Amino acid sequence: IKSAERIGQGDYTRPVEVRAHDALAELQQALERMRGRLRQSTINKNYLHSVLNSMTDGVFVTSPDGVIKVANLAACKLLGYGEEELLGRSIIAVLEERERAGFDLLQAAQETRETVVRTRSGQTIPVSFTGSRIDSVDPQFQGNIFVARNITDRKRAERRIRYLARYDALTKIPNRMQFHHLLQQTIARALRSGQVVAVLYLDMDRFKEVNDTFGHGAGDRTLEVLAERLTRSLPKETVVGRLAGDEFALFVDGLSADADNRGPIAQLAKSLLTEICRPFQLNQQEVFLTASVGIAFCPRDAENVIDLIRNADAAMYYSKQNGGNTFAFYSPEMNAAAVERLMLKSKLRRALERDELEIRYQPKVDLRNGKIIGAEALLRWRLPGHGDIPPSHFIPLAEETNLILDIGEWVLNRVCLDYRQMQSKGGDPGRISLNLSLKQLRQASFILRCRSVFRRHNVSPTAFELEITETTLMADPQRTVRLLDELYAMGLHLSIDDFGTGYSSLSALQQFPIGTLKIDQSFVRDATDDAGDATIVRTIIEMGRSLGMEVIAEGVESQRQLEFLRGSACHFGQGRLFGEPCTAEDLLGLLARQAEGSAPFGHLLHRAEGAAIRTA
C-alpha cells in the first residue's frame, strides 16, 4: 500500500518490495513494472526539456489547433515571457498584429516562412518560422512544432546590401543600376499614359585634370558637391543618378506629348550648366568647371532604358566635340551604333552556319592554393572583316531575335564535346559553368533538350553548372523554382550570376536550389578603392558562406583585388589576373601542369603574400 501511495505521489525512485508469492505478490510485481515505466517516462521527459532548453532557436510545441503546450527557454527569451505565461496561448497570439490575418496554421505547420513576432514589451522581431506536424496515433500527442529563429541581423545586412547596391556610396544618389530601374518604371508609365520622358546625360569636361592636379580626394569632394548642387537645383520629383566616374544623368517625366518640350528642357539644361559653372573650392583655390549635356526623349528617340540612355549619351558626345559647356538634342545621325546594330542582327543569323562562334574558357581558381577548380564557358563571335564582337553587343540581339535558343543549344553541345575531349586526354576540368538566359529557361523543351545533349555526348550533368542572373530568377519565381528543381534533380549545379545587382534578398533566393553565389565584377573592381563596394563584397561573402553556398568573385584583374579577396576569406575567383579566356586546348595545358603537381596560378598567391608581408 505504501509503495502504491509513493507512486501515486510521483516518487518513482524506490523499488516496490516483493515479499510473497501469492496474488499480493503479483500486484506488487505489477506495481514495480509500472514504477519502472513511469520513472523512465519522467527521465525521457526531463531529457527532452534539457534538449529543448539547450537550443538557441525558440521552439513551440502546440496542440493541433495551435495552443502552446511547450515553450523552451529561447522562445521565452525571444518574446520576454515566462513559460507559464505562454502555455495555453494560441501560437497566432505571439505574432505581430498584421501577420495574424494571413496566418494559416495548417500551411504554417508544413513550411518555412518569414514573419514577425511581438514581444511582451511591444517590440517587433523578424523571425524565420519553420513548422512541422506531429502525427501520432494517440490524440494527446498530436500537434505541431514551430522553430523561430531571430533574423534581425540578417535583415539589417540585407537592407545594407540593398542600399549599397543601389546608391552611390560617395554622392548618396542613385547609382547606374538604380537609375536604370527607376527610369524603366517611369518609361512604362509614360508609354501607358501617352506622356513624354526627357533624359539628360551630363559629363564633366576635362575632369581628369582635377584629379591629376589636386588628387583623387579633391576630385571625390568635387563630385559630392556637384551631386548636392544638382539635387538642390532640380525639382523634387526629378531623379538624378551617378552613372560612372564623372558622368551623371537625370530624367524629367510627366511632359505632354502635345507640347514642344524642347524649350523647357533646353532651359533646364542651361540652368544645370550655369550651376556647374559656379566655382568649386579645392585646396583653398577657386576652380571653374564645365560640363557637356546630351538630351533624348521617350518615346520619340527610344522606348527602352538602354537605347534612351545610349542616345542621350551620343548627344552628350556631340556637345563635347563642339567644345563642351553646351547641350545638344539627340538626332539619329549622331548614333552610328543604330546602323551597326541592324548589320549585326542580320549577320548573327548566319553566324552559326558559318562557324563564326567560338567558346573560350575562363578558369575558376581556388584563391587558397592557385589551383583550377573549374571554368566558365564564354561565347565569342569572330565576324570576318569586323573582328571580335563583344558579347554585350550580340547577346541582346540574340535575345531579341530568339536566336539565343539555337545558340544556347550549340554552346551546350560544344562545351560537352570539349569536356569529353579534355577527359580523354587525361585532363580534369572540374565543373564547367554556362550562362542561362530567361528565354532559354522558359523554352518548353529546355529540360528535355539538356537531357538529350548530355546523353548524346555521354557526359554526366554533375560536371556542369548553370549560371542564372537574379533578374532571371525573380522574373517568375514560382515557375522558375519548379524548373530549377528539375535541373537540380538531374544533377546540374546552379549558381547566381552577378549577385548584388538585382532586387532579391537572400531569403527570397533560399527557395531556389542554388549552390553558388558569384559576386558581380562591378563590386570587385572598385572594392579596393570604394568602401561601399568593399562592404558589399564582404557582406555577400559572409552571408553566402553562412548559408552553405560557395562564393566566387568575378572580374579579378589586379593583385590588389586578389589580396583584398583573400583577406576577406573569399575562397574562389575568376578574372583576367589569371589570364585571358582561353581555348579548350590551352585550358587542357594548364590542367596538365596541375596534374603534375604545379598550381597554375600559385605564383600570384606568393606575390600577394609577399605584398601583405611588406605592407605589414
Chain centroid, CA 309 distance in Å = 25
159-334 with 339-615: one CATH topology? Answer: no
Could you give the C-alpha distances from 134 to 53, 139, 592, in angstroms and in order? 19, 10, 55
**Domain boundaries in the chain?**
2-52, 56-150, 159-334, 339-615
Q: Angle 60-115-178 (CA atoms, 0-180°, nearest 5)?
A: 155
Residue in the block written with cell 535575345: 399
Q: Which residues contact 463 (CB under 8 A, 6 or more apart)?
A: 419, 429, 431, 432
Q: 457: which 3 cell numbers?
A: 555526348
Q: State the pLDDT at residue 228.
A: 94
Alpha carbons 164 and 160: distance in angstroms, whole number: 6
User: Does 56-150 carry CATH code 3.30.450.20?
Assistant: yes
pLDDT along the chain (616 residues), means of 10: 54 55 52 56 61 84 91 92 92 91 86 91 93 77 88 88 86 93 96 96 88 84 94 89 93 92 94 92 83 96 93 88 88 71 80 91 96 96 87 86 91 97 92 92 90 96 93 77 93 88 63 91 88 89 88 94 94 94 95 89 74 45
User: Does 159-334 carry CATH code 3.30.70.270?
Assistant: yes
Euclidean distance between the first and the last CA atom of the chain, given in angstroms as a whole number: 81
Q: Angle 149-154-155 (CA atoms, 0-180°, nearest 5)?
A: 100
Is 199 in contact with 298 (CB distance < 8 Å)?
yes
Alpha carbons 277 and 377: distance in angstroms, whole number: 49
Alpha carbons 504 and 294: distance in angstroms, whole number: 33
Peptide bond into 299 cis (omega under 30): yes
- What is the pTM assigned to this prediction? 0.56
Q: Give the three-class secondary structure for 516.
A: strand
Q: Give the three-class secondary structure for 362.
A: strand
Is 134 in contact with 111 (CB distance < 8 Å)?
no
Chain centroid, CA 305 distance in Å = 22
Residue in the block written with cell 544618389: 173
Domain 339-615 is in which class?
alpha beta
Could you give the C-alpha distances from 219 to 164, 226, 447, 496, in angstroms and in order? 21, 10, 52, 35
Q: State the pLDDT at residue 385.
A: 78
Q: Which of 312, 190, 303, 299 is nearest to 241 (CA)?
A: 312
